[in-house]
């Protein structure tokens, strides 16, 4: 994962609540065995509508997606995150995220920016009124700013995830430093626990 410090860019408003991951990337796209190329499938069923926000030229090139509450609920498919990043989004702003989507985002370099419902509403309105509005997401200061609209707010991110994003660290590499602790834990596991030993 590449380090991410500050994201500055224009934003696209997706003024809907409960955007589940089936909408972000429909199941028909999940048959691919690669990790790339999912951008074409992003919101693919909604993109048939000519007025859908991603079809509007004034939002072309947006790097921040501003959505309603309960974004990324439902299926665990990380393909939803891959679709957003492959399309060009680097951050998603919402008052509330599905837990698995939120987890997947930080593993794949997409920043989930959780704001209050009021800030979320204000940002949706501001971006709808002014498609050229620039939004800055500062991972170091955990702050989001849209100076031209007079909006600024802090957002939560645990210190570990923040550090991982800032340094671009590989989660697995971090865990493998604790190989000894994992060995020690395994030595104490009860014998009744199920195992597929010799089952192949």
Site residues (vs other proteins, CB under 8 A) = 16-18, 20, 22-23, 26-28, 30-35, 45, 68-70, 73-79, 81, 96-100, 103-104, 107-108, 158-160, 171-172, 174-176, 178, 181-182, 185-186, 189-197, 199-200
Nearer Cβ to other proteins (150/173) = 173
Backbone dihedral region of 70: left (phi > 0), alpha (psi from -120 to 50 degrees) or beta? Answer: left
At closest approach, how far in Å is the CB of 88 from other proteins? 20
- Rounded distance, CA 189 to CA 171, Å? 24
C-alpha of 131 from chain center:
21
C-alpha of 67 from chain center:
11
Nearer Cβ to other proteins (51/192) = 192
CB atoms within 10 A of CB 162: 16
- Rounded distance, CA 109 to CA 91, Å? 9
Nearer Cβ to other proteins (12/72) = 72
Nearer Cβ to other proteins (50/172) = 172
At closest approach, how far in Å is the CB of 82 from other proteins? 8
At closest approach, how far in Å is the CB of 100 from other proteins? 5
β-strand 134-138 against 143-146: which pairing, if any?
A: antiparallel
Nearer Cβ to other proteins (152/160) = 160
At closest approach, how far in Å is the CB of 172 from other proteins? 5
At closest approach, how far in Å is the CB of 191 from other proteins? 6
29, 83 in Cβ contact below 8 A?
yes
137, containing H or E segment: strand 134-138
């Amino acid at each position: 994962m590449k380090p991410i410090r500050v994201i500055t860019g224009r934003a696209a408003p997706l003024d809907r609540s409960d955007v589940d991951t089936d909408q972000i990337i429909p199941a028909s796209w999940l048959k691919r065995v690669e990790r790339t190329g999912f951008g074409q499938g992003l919101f693919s069923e909604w993109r048939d509508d000519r007025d859908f926000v991603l079809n509007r030229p004034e939002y072309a090139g947006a790097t921040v997606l501003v959505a309603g509450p309960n974004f990324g609920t439902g299926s665990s498919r990380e393909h939803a995150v891959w679709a957003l990043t492959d399309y060009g989004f680097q951050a998603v702003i919402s008052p509330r995220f599905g837990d698995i989507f939120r987890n997947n985002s930080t593993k794949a370099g997409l920043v989930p920016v959780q704001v209050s419902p009021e800030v979320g509403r204000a940002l949706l309105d501001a971006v709808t009124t002014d498609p050229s509005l620039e939004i800055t997401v500062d991972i170091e200061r955990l702050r989001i700013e849209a100076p031209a609209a007079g909006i600024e707010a802090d957002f939560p991110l645990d210190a570990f995830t923040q550090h991982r994003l800032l340094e671009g660290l590989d989660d697995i590499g971090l865990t493998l430093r604790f190989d000894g602790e994992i060995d020690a834990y395994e030595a104490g596991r009860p014998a009744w626990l199920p195992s597929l030993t010799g089952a192949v």
